[in-house]
Structure 1
Amino acid sequence: MTTPKLSTWFNTAVGDKPRIEVNLVGFTFAPHRHDTYTLALTTTGVQCFNYRGSLRYSLPGEVVVLHPDELHDGLAGTDAPFGYRAINIDPVDVQNILQGHHLPFLPNGVTGKPCLVDIAQRFLTEFQRPLEPLEYQDLIYDFAMALQKETTIHHKHTTANYQAIQMAREYIDDSLDNDITLDQLATITGYSKWQITRDFRSLFGTSPYRYLTLRRLEKAKSLMSQGIPIAQVAQDCFFSDQSHFTRQFKKSFGTTPNMWNKLNESPQR
């Protein structure tokens, strides 16, 4: 991975929602996966990424929608810098609206559809103020409905046990510092452990283990932003050692914890 130049920077929006603004020069994200949707509005240059076996391009004003747990990278499509604003949207929030329907999936990953461009702009235009709770909920609803409309299976209901999987997810959220097994989740929910695995993927787009790992990594990013040393963060977030933490971090965010810290400390506009 190349070392970013000074004009590479991250900027975080005001508020508790994960909204970022990024300008990249000579920097490439390694292949990685999120357990969230990524909704990104390209602002400058040509945003380029490999996604589902093809190279995709997004021009200024276009929107990128990445499905949870889909492998992707990120790089400039030309020699010029590229920039974007993005928000990570928890599929749990989307599933609370869909109530057991398949998570919508946009196969191409890039769109200029006015409805999705409008939603991205409403999410991402005002970085100097937090999104109000009701405003955010309205936007999540609009996002879920607009994305569902653009998919071929948007009216198909899963056979998943929605209540059992919600119970399993809530248990994981409350147990980040503990070892968790499928047998435990089966006991708690009264549901087959293999059905839990299948239905968790169907409803939330990832496996229970990946969901647990990402929750720990999100906690780690919060601790890192407070200046806590990486070795201590790894221990506090229940990773076996710093090497394990670094590997998992790069798989999920496309860069190492050290580089993540540097990017967030880099000069901004």
Structure 2
Amino acid sequence: MSDSIKVAPVSGGIERIEAHFHGDAFEMHRHDTYALGLTLQGVQAFRYRGMLRYSQPGNIIVLHPDELHDGGAGTDEGLRYRMMYLPPEMLAGALGERPRGLPFVPSPVIADRAFAANLADVMRDLDGAIDDLQLDDVLTGIADALLRHSDGGGRAPMKRSDQIAIRRACDFLQAHSDRQVNSDELETVTGLDRFTLARHFRSNLGTSPHRYLVMRRLERARAMIGSGRSLVEIAFETGFADQAHFTRHFKKTHGMTPGRWASLCGRT
């Protein structure tokens, strides 16, 4: 089978893909989400936190937000895998009062049947949506699994008022992702000073407010690729300065250019 990516419609805020690759697929890049995957066929090879890792069929891959990694097939057989991208703010309710910051899983390759079954269930039908009850169940299972495999580190839990402030910041950045947002605006929206907000963002979402804003722009841009608009138009409509600015951020986040992404998705 030729190299390809199947992208499911965004459902419940979660992105899901199935990918087929031979050789190297992605250059070094990073997401602001948890990347949770299942290797289905072949050997999945990737560099992560200074080491070359390998995942075989049945293994789970857990990549922490904002950690650099690449990816590709580890053998000539090629590779098939499914991956979901989970915004860390969606875990807040499921984690409850237990965590101390974002759960960090030291080993990015895990063998855990219950965790694998939970991920397989939500990634089985890439054409269908995730309904509300299923989403609650999935988030609970993922939260429990991340805590089970985490190193137990992190900072003390935030106050409820600070959690609400972070949620307000996320909502504001999503709603205004097509323009520049400044720190004064976020201070007004959240009631937190810019430095406290930045620290809470990093501890609980694994990224910065600025990068969160850029990632929301890229989400919109990915949805527009293949719509008939040029990359120049997409860059402008999603808040990037120009096509070069858009391409630079896209490659930094996805390990390939927007044109290559469109080709693999069959949208060219």
Q: Distance in 2 between matches of 1:241 and 1:195?
A: 32
Q: Does 1:7 align with 2:8?
A: no
Asked if 1 retains the 8 angstrom alpha-carbon contact of 2:30 and 2:252, the reply is yes
Query: Shift in Å at residue 203 of structure 1?
Result: 1.1
Secondary structure at the aligned position of 1:57 is classed as strand
The alpha-carbon deviation at position 10 of structure 1 amounts to: 1.3
Indicate the residue corresponding to 1:264 in structure 2.
Answer: 265
Q: Distance in 2 between matches of 1:136 and 1:159?
A: 24
Task: Specify the alignment match of 2:16 in structure 1.
Answer: 19
In the alignment, structure 1 segments of 5+ residues that lack a partner are 1-5
Taking structure 1 as reference, are residues 46 and 166 closer, same or farther at Cα in structure 2, changes over 3 Å only? same
Moved >6 Å (runs of 4+):
none
Which stretch has the larger CA shift, 159-168 or 26-35? 159-168
SS at match of 2:225: helix
SS at match of 1:84: strand
Q: Provide the rounded CA distance (Å) in 2 between the counterparts of 1:15 and 1:201.
A: 24
CA-based RMSD of the aligned residues comes to 2.0
Range that drifts further, 109-118 or 48-57: 109-118
What TM-score do you get using the length of structure 1 for normalisation? 0.91
**Aligned counterparts, 1:32-51, within 5 A:** 32-51=29-48
Displacement after TM superposition at 1:187 (Å): 2.5
Deviation at 1:178, TM superposition (A): 2.3
Q: Which runs of 5+ in 2 are unaligned?
A: none
Summarize the Cα distance change of 1:194–1:156 in structure 2 as closer, same or farther, 3 Å threshold.
Answer: closer
**Residues 134 and 227 of structure 1: is their aligned pair in 2 closer, same or farther, counting only changes over 3 Å?**
farther
In the alignment, what sits opposite 2:218?
A: 217
Instruction: Say whether residues 1:207 and 2:208 are aligned partners.
Output: yes
Q: 1:159 to 1:135 in 2, by over 3 A?
A: closer
**Relative to 1, partners in 2 of residues 1:63 and 1:12: Cα closer, same or farther, differing over 3 Å?**
same
Instruction: Tell me the SS of whatever aligns to 1:70.
Output: coil
Q: In 2, are the aligned partners of 1:10 and 1:266 still within 8 Å (CA)? A: no
- 1:146 Cα offset (Å): 1.5
Per-residue deviation at 1:98?
2.5
Residue 83 of structure 1 is matched in structure 2 by 80
Normalising by structure 2, report the TM-score.
0.91
The aligned amino acid for 1:23 is H
Q: Distance in 2 between matches of 1:58 and 1:94?
A: 25
Q: Deviations over 1:137-189 (max 9, x none)?
A: 21012101221122132796334621222221121111112211222211222
The question of 1:110 aligning with 2:109 is answered yes
Residue aligning to 1:247: 248
Corresponding residue number in structure 1 for 2:118: 119
Match of 1:52 in 2: 49
Q: Deviations over 1:44-90 (max 9, x none)?
A: 11001100111110000101011111100002112220110111111
Moved more, 127-136 or 59-68: 127-136
- Given that 1:67 and 1:105 are in contact with CA atoms closer than 8 Å, whether structure 2 keeps it comes out as yes
1:73 and 1:194 map into 2 onto residues whose CA distance is: 31
Contact 2:23 2:74 in 1 (8 A): no
Q: Which moved more, 1:78-87 or 1:40-49?
A: 78-87
Contact 1:41-1:86 at 8 Å conserved across structures: yes
Identity across matched positions, percent: 38
In 1, Cα distance between equivalents of 2:78 and 2:131 = 32
CA distance in 1, matches of 2:78, 2:267: 16
Name the counterpart of 1:3. Answer: none
Distance 1:15 1:133 in 2: 14
Check 1:14–1:190 CA distance in 2 against 1; reply closer, same or farther (3 A cut). closer
The worse-fitting range, judged by mean Cα deviation, of 70-79 and 14-23 is 14-23
Taking the aligned partners of 1:105 and 1:53, their CA distance within structure 2 comes to 16
Paired letter, 2:47: N
Does 2:148 correspond to 1:152?
no
The Cα shift of 1:194 comes to 0.5
| 43 and 52 in structure 1: CA distance in 2 versus 1, 3 angstrom threshold | same
**CA distance in 1 between partners of 2:177 and 2:263 (Å):** 27
